[in-house]
Chains A and B, each alone.
Chain A
Amino acid sequence: MKERERARWRCRRGLLELDIVLQRFMDKHYATLDEAGIRQFETLLDFPDTDLWHMIVQKDEDEGKAGLQPVLHLLQSI
């Protein structure tokens, strides 16, 4: 099942800043993700655009985000 292609399409967003960061992530990190990482990434992609963007740029230690590391950390580092 073309998991990577599906994820790549879901990186198409309403905000250009997310398009660019997510595309860079796909090019640089996606292939290195294990099964758990892929699940985390897919969970992150389900967030609304503005929420996801704030999670990426505001590096606060939110309890709710704990389960989404280390993929969120990778996104923040791009």
Chain B
Amino acid sequence: MRAALQLSEAGLKVAVLSKVFPTRSHTVAAQGGIAAALGNVTEDNWHWHMYDTVKGSDYLGDQDAIEFMCRQAGEVVYELEHYGMPFDRLENGKIYQRPFGGQSQNFGGAQATRSCAVADRTGHAMLHTLYQRNVRANTQFFVEWMALDLIRDEHGDVLGVSALDIETGEVMILQARATLFATGGGARIFSASTNAFINTGDGLAMAARAGVPLQDMEFWQFHPTGVYGAGILISEAVRGEGGYLLNKDGERFMERYAPHAKDLASRDVVSRAMTTEIKEGHGCGRDADHLLLKLDHLGADVIKARLPGIREIAIKFAHADPVREPIPVVPTAHYMMGGIPTNFHGQVVAPYKTGPEEVVQGFYAVGECACVSVHGANRLGTNSLLDILVFGRAAGNQIIEDLKRNSHHKHLPGDAADKALGRLARLDSQKDGENVSQVGDMLRKTMQTHCGVFRFADLLKQGVDKISEVAQRARNTEIRDKSRVFNTARVEALELDNLVEVAVATMVSAQARTESRGAHARDDFPHRDDDKWLKHTLYFSEDRRLDYKPVRLKPLTVESFPPKARTY
């Protein structure tokens, strides 16, 4: 929506397609804020923010893109303020900022206070602000439309998408001089996921099917405390208030893994410790597959006053009132660092013609579906909203420039919609096929077991075979309802196709990377290996081939931050 706004305000004709009403995108779940070194509370500058982001990425982030993002952070926040975003304020009227994990002053020194927020509804406020502004600028919204496939011509240029109008069931071609994906993540490939149901990686799969590689797909951030069985995220605030984790013996096991930080160690450390406990048979419950988050010792008053939202979630989804009993939790997939490879102008880049990063003409990607890469192997809290603002605007500006040179539509190939129509025809004619939700369950279970928080050589190897079997079964899905109008069974079958692409890319990329870096933790290769693996993975769907390209270690204007051990 940030890019759409840029384009509409420049007088271009913009169509925004969305599966659901635009303000119901998953951005609404972002509570923490937007990172920007405004220095309103403690001294700060963009260069410190850049250092934190490079270090947080475990040095896999591209330093040119990270410098670009951190330098523009202040500007995009003030711009949003002018659009009417109701930021919380300090007494002196400046934008309020709160501290977040991974933020430091002076290149790794004292805690910085860098996140600009609107209470616990920053994402909600941002979506509504940008939506209103887009309506005013005459952006045209196609609500409850699902994009199906990317249209490319013989030169590989992108000319638009084929899309399904969910309401009527009709397939249309949307021809465009520029096509931008802001389709979000795909963490629904895991059984334990904090993501909303819509996050099925549609854009990634469309790109992959059209021959565009997917970058760094092995890197998924797991949040330590998702509600067991439901996935809803229980904020770090619980452990901040003094809650802690227990195994089935009632042991506070984090004391063994992180003697100092204990339950407040960083997300990846806690998630790994929990997974180890479960793997070693110390998990709780009938299946010994989760752990317990205890907070009743805080007392009913503290829980009711400071953590009311969390108490509601625990009661509703775990049937446990934390005032009296612990909450069953499990590490839960939360955010995808990988995605469609782009440069910091939002242009999709791929090794096609002569170089490793050739621009795919007419194609742009921004946000969780894209891999710029500013998050590298691990994202810092509140950098994701910053990512979508900065690169949304940058992509908008780049499109405006590119369209000055390409003022006419290119010739649309005769077979533009064939791929999408072929998939729909297959689905309609399938007999004795597979059940969509059963195959989906198998996919999620396979990813969870074989490619979760901690990765083991044997499990990954079996995982590649198992996910191939899932992919094979997904090619034969059958739906009973063949009607056109609001056929949600058809939509869910198409979403499963997309989940399969994301899942296979993840499993194959993870099996190949024989090191541990950021969110990718291998049991058999516990250390980061910069000699061999300081490079981005590129996965090609067609033949499941992997390629690699160097990390961009050279920033735009400042000195490079060379890889160092990542300690907090």
Could you tell me which A residues sit within 8 Å of B by CB distance? 1-2, 5-6, 8-10, 12-17, 19-21, 23, 48-50, 57, 78
Q: A2-B486, A16-B231 are in contact. Are A50 and B197 (CB under 8 A)?
A: no
Which chain B residue has the least Cβ–Cβ distance from A4?
Answer: B486
* Chain B count of residues within 8 A CB distance of the other chain: 38
Minimum CB–CB distance for B502 against chain A, Å: 18
User: Which 9 pairs from chain A and chain B are nearest by CB?
Assistant: A14-B28, A5-B486, A57-B312, A2-B486, A14-B24, A19-B197, A50-B124, A49-B28, A16-B196
Contact A14 B317 (CB under 8 A): no
* Chain B residues whose CB sits within 8 angstroms of the CB of A19 once the complex forms: 196-197
Instruction: Tell me if B183 is interfacial: C-beta within 8 Å of chain A.
Output: no
Instruction: Tell me if B547 is interfacial: C-beta within 8 Å of chain A.
Output: no
Instruction: Tell me if B435 is interfacial: C-beta within 8 Å of chain A.
Output: no
Q: List 9 A-B contacts (CB under 8 A).
A: A6-B486, A8-B488, A12-B24, A14-B20, A15-B196, A16-B194, A20-B232, A49-B28, A78-B316
* Chain A residues whose CB sits within 8 angstroms of the CB of B383 once the complex forms: none
Which chain A residue has the least Cβ–Cβ distance from B198?
Answer: A12
* Chain A residues whose CB sits within 8 angstroms of the CB of B71 once the complex forms: none
* Chain B residues whose CB sits within 8 angstroms of the CB of A15 once the complex forms: 28-29, 196
With A and B bound together, what is the CA distance between A5 and B480 in angstroms? 14
Contact A14 B25 (CB under 8 A): yes
From 468 to 516 in chain B, residues with beta carbon under 8 angstroms from any chain A beta carbon are 483, 485-488, 491
With A and B bound together, what is the CA distance between A2 and B167 in angstroms? 10
With A and B bound together, what is the CA distance between A19 and B488 in angstroms? 15
Contact B485 A14 (CB under 8 A): no
Instruction: Tell me if B19 is interfacial: C-beta within 8 Å of chain A.
Output: yes
Contact A9 B24 (CB under 8 A): no
Could you tell me which B residues sit within 8 Å of A by CB distance? 19-20, 23-29, 121, 123-124, 127-128, 144, 166-167, 193-198, 230-233, 309, 312-313, 316-317, 483, 485-488, 491
Interface of A is mostly: helix
Minimum CB–CB distance for B147 against chain A, Å: 16
Which chain B residue has the least Cβ–Cβ distance from A5?
Answer: B486
* Chain A residues whose CB sits within 8 angstroms of the CB of B23 once the complex forms: 14, 48-49
* Chain B residues whose CB sits within 8 angstroms of the CB of A5 once the complex forms: 485-488
With A and B bound together, what is the CA distance between A27 and B121 in angstroms? 29
Minimum CB–CB distance for A10 against chain B, Å: 8
Which chain B residue has the least Cβ–Cβ distance from A19?
Answer: B197
Contact A57 B29 (CB under 8 A): no
With A and B bound together, what is the CA distance between A10 and B19 in angstroms? 10
Query: CB within 8 A of B128: which of A8, A13, A17, A48?
Result: A48
Q: A17-B317, A20-B317, A50-B28 are in contact. Are A9 and B196 (CB under 8 A)?
A: no
With A and B bound together, what is the CA distance between A56 and B374 in angstroms? 37
Q: A14-B196, A16-B197, A20-B232 are in contact. Are A49 and B124 (CB under 8 A)?
A: yes
* Chain B residues whose CB sits within 8 angstroms of the CB of A50 once the complex forms: 28, 121, 124
Which chain B residue has the least Cβ–Cβ distance from A14?
Answer: B28
With A and B bound together, what is the CA distance between A49 and B131 in angstroms? 14
Query: CB within 8 A of B20: which of A8, A13, A16?
Result: A13
Beyond A13-B28, A16-B233, 19 extra complex contacts between A and B, CB < 8 Å: A5-B485, A9-B20, A12-B197, A13-B24, A14-B196, A14-B198, A15-B29, A15-B196, A16-B193, A16-B194, A16-B196, A17-B232, A19-B197, A48-B124, A48-B128, A49-B24, A49-B124, A50-B28, A57-B309
Which chain A residue has the least Cβ–Cβ distance from B120?
Answer: A50
Query: CB within 8 A of A20: which of B26, B27, B230, B309?
Result: B230
* Chain A residues whose CB sits within 8 angstroms of the CB of B233 once the complex forms: 16
* Chain B residues whose CB sits within 8 angstroms of the CB of A17 once the complex forms: 232, 313, 316-317
With A and B bound together, what is the CA distance between A2 and B485 in angstroms? 7
With A and B bound together, what is the CA distance between A74 and B121 in angstroms? 25
Identify which of A15, A20, A49, A78 gathers the most chain B CB atoms within 10 Å of its CB: A49
Which chain A residue has the least Cβ–Cβ distance from B23?
Answer: A48
* Chain A residues whose CB sits within 8 angstroms of the CB of B316 once the complex forms: 17, 21, 57, 78
Which chain A residue has the least Cβ–Cβ distance from B487?
Answer: A5
* Chain B residues whose CB sits within 8 angstroms of the CB of A48 once the complex forms: 23-24, 28, 124, 128
Q: A16-B29, A49-B28 are in contact. Are A9 and B230 (CB under 8 A)?
A: no
* Chain A residues whose CB sits within 8 angstroms of the CB of B487 once the complex forms: 5
With A and B bound together, what is the CA distance between A49 and B126 in angstroms? 13
With A and B bound together, what is the CA distance between A6 and B144 in angstroms? 10
Minimum CB–CB distance for A74 against chain B, Å: 14
Minimum CB–CB distance for A13 against chain B, Å: 5
* Chain A residues whose CB sits within 8 angstroms of the CB of B167 once the complex forms: 6
* Chain A residues whose CB sits within 8 angstroms of the CB of B196 once the complex forms: 12-16, 19
With A and B bound together, what is the CA distance between A65 and B12 in angstroms? 42
With A and B bound together, what is the CA distance between A6 and B168 in angstroms? 11
Contact B232 A14 (CB under 8 A): no
With A and B bound together, what is the CA distance between A19 and B28 in angstroms? 13
Which chain A residue has the least Cβ–Cβ distance from B27?
Answer: A14
With A and B bound together, what is the CA distance between A18 and B127 in angstroms? 17
With A and B bound together, what is the CA distance between A19 and B316 in angstroms? 13
* Chain B residues whose CB sits within 8 angstroms of the CB of A8 once the complex forms: 488
Minimum CB–CB distance for B463 against chain A, Å: 25
* Chain B residues whose CB sits within 8 angstroms of the CB of A78 once the complex forms: 316
Which chain B residue has the least Cβ–Cβ distance from A2?
Answer: B486
Which chain A residue has the least Cβ–Cβ distance from B30?
Answer: A14
